[in-house]
């Protein structure tokens, strides 16, 4: 019994001695790098110098979008000629000083056209016009700006309005016209198309100089 205990103690002592030698060797020799037995390898991370190969990036997984095309210049649509049974291209213009009322009434005109099966070719806004109201206190004195009025305009462009439906359509529009809003209906012309765009005389002058 004593001999067996002595043999067990000797083997344990030998294993402990071998383990201490291995740890000492790992601490003294920098070339030995073992993740389990070497304590110095905990703070010395080898993966710092390894390439990541796009780990954590997700943009390469998305499909490449086609480059956005430059918007073409607005082209004028063909003006429909009038016939014996229908009108041609008409412009229903709504204007006023209150933008909210003008916008709602133009939406009402558009919805009414949809209900009456009237073809609406376009619906757009015209550039806002600004009017300054000058006030002179006494004759001969300098006038000053008393108020600034902004006129908002919306256009609903109709195409091939039936002649028999036109009186009913206009009667409904006039009966539901709000206060402070002006309504006009006229044939659409090329000048009306160019009125949609804001005038830029400085840019036009520079373009003319470049083209010379």
Average pLDDT of the segment spanning 83-90: 87
Percent of the chain scoring above 70 in pLDDT: 68
Say which residue, 92 or 201, is predicted with more confidence.
92
pLDDT score recorded for residue 53: 59
Does residue 192 belong to any structural domain of this protein? Answer: yes
Does residue 203 belong to any structural domain of this protein? Answer: no
- Whether the pLDDT of residue 28 is over 80: the answer is no
Statement to judge: residues 105 and 167 lie in one domain:
yes
Q: Which of 101, 75, 49 is nearest to 190 (CA)?
A: 75
Does residue 181 belong to any structural domain of this protein? Answer: yes
- Whether the pLDDT of residue 52 is over 80: the answer is no
Confidence of residue 173 (pLDDT cuts 50, 70, 90): very high
Structure tokens given for 170: 């206009």
In the DSSP assignment, the letter for residue 34 is -
Statement to judge: residues 31 and 116 lie in one domain:
no
Say which residue, 124 or 54, is predicted with more confidence.
124
As a whole number, the mean pLDDT across the chain is 77
Say which residue, 21 or 194, is predicted with more confidence.
194
Give the Cβ contact number of residue 75 at 10 Å.
7
Does residue 76 belong to any structural domain of this protein? Answer: no
**Domain range for 31:** 1-42
Rg (CA), the chain: 42
Does residue 166 belong to any structural domain of this protein? Answer: yes
pLDDT digits (tens, 9 = 90+) for 117-131: 999 988 888 888 888
Q: Are 181 and 105 in contact (CB under 8 A)?
A: yes
Give the count of domains, the chain.
Answer: 2
Structure tokens given for 18: 């071998």
Say which residue, 186 or 54, is predicted with more confidence.
186
Say which residue, 15 or 31, is predicted with more confidence.
15
Buried b (16+ CB within 10 A) or exposed e, 156-169: bbbbbbeeeebeeb
The CATH number assigned to the domain holding 188 equals: 3.30.70.600
pLDDT score recorded for residue 54: 61
Confidence of residue 6 (pLDDT cuts 50, 70, 90): low
Statement to judge: residues 32 and 94 lie in one domain:
no
- Whether the pLDDT of residue 155 is over 70: the answer is yes
Statement to judge: residues 25 and 119 lie in one domain:
no
Structure tokens given for 203: 């840019």
């Amino acid at each position: 019994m004593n001999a067996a205990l002595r043999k067990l103690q000797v083997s344990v002592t030998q294993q402990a001695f071998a383990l201490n030698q291995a740890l000492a060797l790992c601490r003294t020799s920098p070339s030995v790098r073992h993740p389990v037995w070497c304590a110095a390898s905990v703070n010395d991370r080898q993966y710092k110098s390894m390439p990541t190969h796009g780990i954590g990036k997700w943009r390469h997984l998305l499909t490449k979008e086609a480059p956005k095309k430059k918007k073409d210049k607005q082209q004028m649509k063909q003006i429909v000629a009038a016939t014996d049974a229908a009108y041609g291209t008409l412009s229903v213009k709504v204007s006023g000083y209150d933008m909210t009322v003008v916008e709602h009434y133009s939406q009402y005109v558009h919805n009414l056209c949809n209900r009456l099966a009237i073809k609406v070719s376009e619906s757009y806004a015209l550039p806002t016009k600004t009017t300054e109201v000058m006030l002179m206190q006494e004759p001969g004195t300098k006038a000053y700006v008393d108020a600034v009025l902004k006129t908002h305009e919306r256009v609903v462009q109709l195409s091939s309005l039936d002649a028999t439906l036109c009186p009913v359509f206009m009667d409904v529009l006039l009966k539901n016209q709000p206060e402070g809003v002006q309504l006009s209906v006229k044939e659409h012309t090329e000048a009306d198309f160019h009125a949609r765009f804001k005038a830029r005389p400085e840019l036009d002058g520079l373009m003319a100089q470049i083209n010379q």
